[in-house]
């Protein structure tokens, strides 16, 4: 087993919130669900199996300057909703045609370093018969895979949810690695209007940590994604308060599960007001709150922060990312967008073969805009009205 030492202290984490209690909890937590016992920081070490060097290399490749992640891992049901919005039936052929359009956009790899795939896509070929994984690699894009099994109600909570998928994850991850995937994604959510309850936060953090450890043990860089949903009327200060609590729990359990911080990527929500809040925040305010959160909670050992868009408009997501990159950060601060990269592209395509080139150009416009935002050089000039439309859906299911 390869190993690396955990940072003995971190300028961005409060020990009282992060590492507490008895050293015996490391053993206990490997065998049971999360409990309130905390362990001593002096005894912690990180083990990331024989893949440690490869994990670090993969994470750094995805977190490379001017590039981010194209999230195209919508389940078949969710992809069907997208296709229905342009009048297409949800068939494998139509999903194949759309995904082919995305990954074959000329020069996409100049702006996109990784692509998150649904299981169907990982094993799928393009309409020309080439394996989609091979096409991505030719574009210098690292293939990733969605590994969670979706959200289900969390018993004992305030109508909250938990993410399932740990059963059989090790064998599935090994198979995904063999198929060409090199990173993984697991999305769980936290709802502010529903609390969030301490139970829901702990369950989210524990599930993410177990998934991350299992992924690393099978050669996959885990994307850690506790999405704080935009739903609600709360202000930006309440989002900040909840986000601090969530990320403190997440990193505590990541450490308890011996996750190699240098071999993970994060996919957090930006700190914004609730979608139904009357007081909106400027990109500068979003950047200020979000960066303050990152500095307080995220160790600099983590190579990349790949933000989700969470229903923001294409332009809003890009402006907020750009504002966060106006000064140097300890991490690569970038994007992992689905709708905020694909919305205009999908509508431009409309399911018509003659529109494929125009749709790919629309995708490249968004990818380049976010590439510039990662470098802090996006201006927002020349954006279409479609790109400015919000995409928030209350109670959104991925």
Active site residues: 225, 267
Residue 354 · residue 303 · CB < 8 Å: no
Residue 244 · residue 238 · CB < 8 Å: no
Contacts of 57 (CB under 8 A, 6+ apart): none
Phi and psi angles of residue 6, each rounded to the nearest 5 degrees, phi first = -70, 145
Q: Look at residue 113 and give its three-state secondary structure.
A: strand
- CA angle (365, 371, 374) in 5-degree steps: 145
The helix or strand, by DSSP H or E, that contains position 151, with its residue range, turns out to be: strand 151-153
* Lookup result for tokens 């359009």: 101
The CA-atom distances, in angstroms, between 382 and each of 67, 343, 365, 398 are 21, 17, 11, 30
* Lookup result for tokens 């301490």: 198
* Tokens at 25, concatenated: 């909890």
Give dist(CA 97, CA 92) in Å, integer: 9
**CA nearest 243: which of 222, 225, 262, 228?**
228
């Amino acid at each position: 087993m390869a190993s690396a030492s955990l940072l003995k202290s971190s300028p961005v984490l409060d020990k009282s919130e992060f590492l507490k209690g008895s050293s015996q909890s490391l053993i206990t937590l490997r065998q049971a669900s999360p409990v309130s016992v905390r362990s001593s920081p002096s005894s912690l070490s990180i083990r990331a199996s024989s893949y440690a060097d490869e994990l670090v290399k993969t994470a750094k490749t995805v977190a490379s300057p001017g590039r981010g992640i194209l999230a195209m891992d919508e389940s078949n049901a969710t992809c069907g909703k997208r296709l229905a919005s342009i009048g297409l039936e949800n068939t494998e052929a139509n999903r194949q045609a759309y995904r082919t359009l995305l990954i074959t956009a000329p020069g996409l790899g100049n702006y996109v370093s990784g692509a998150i795939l649904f299981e169907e896509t990982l094993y799928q070929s393009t309409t020309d018969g080439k394996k989609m994984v091979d096409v991505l690699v030719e574009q210098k894009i690292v293939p990733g895979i969605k590994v969670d099994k979706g959200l289900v109600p969390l018993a004992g909570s305030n109508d909250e949810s938990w993410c399932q998928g740990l059963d059989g994850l090790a064998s599935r991850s090994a198979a995904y690695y063999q198929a060409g995937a090199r990173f993984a994604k697991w999305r769980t959510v936290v709802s502010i209007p529903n609390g969030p309850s301490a139970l829901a936060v702990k369950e989210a953090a524990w599930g993410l940590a177990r998934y991350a450890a299992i992924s690393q043990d099978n050669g996959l860089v885990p994307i850690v994604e506790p999405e704080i949903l935009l739903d609600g009327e709360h202000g930006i200060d309440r989002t900040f308060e909840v986000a601090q609590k969530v990320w403190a729990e997440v990193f505590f359990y990541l450490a308890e599960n011996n996750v190699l911080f240098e071999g993970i990527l994060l996919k957090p929500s930006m700190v914004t007001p609730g979608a139904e809040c009357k007081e909106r925040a400027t990109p500068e305010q979003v950047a200020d709150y979000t960066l303050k959160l990152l500095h307080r909670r995220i160790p600099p050992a983590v190579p990349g922060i790949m933000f989700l868009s969470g229903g923001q408009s294409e332009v809003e997501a890009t402006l907020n990312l750009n504002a966060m990159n106006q000064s140097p950060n300890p991490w690569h601060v970038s994007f992992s967008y689905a709708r905020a990269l694909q919305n205009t592209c999908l509508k431009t395509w409309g399911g018509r073969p003659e529109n494929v080139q125009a749709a790919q150009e629309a995708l490249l416009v968004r990818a380049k805009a976010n590439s510039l935002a990662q470098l802090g050089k996006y201006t927002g000039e020349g954006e279409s009205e479609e790109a400015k439309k919000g995409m928030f859906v209350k109670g959104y299911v991925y």
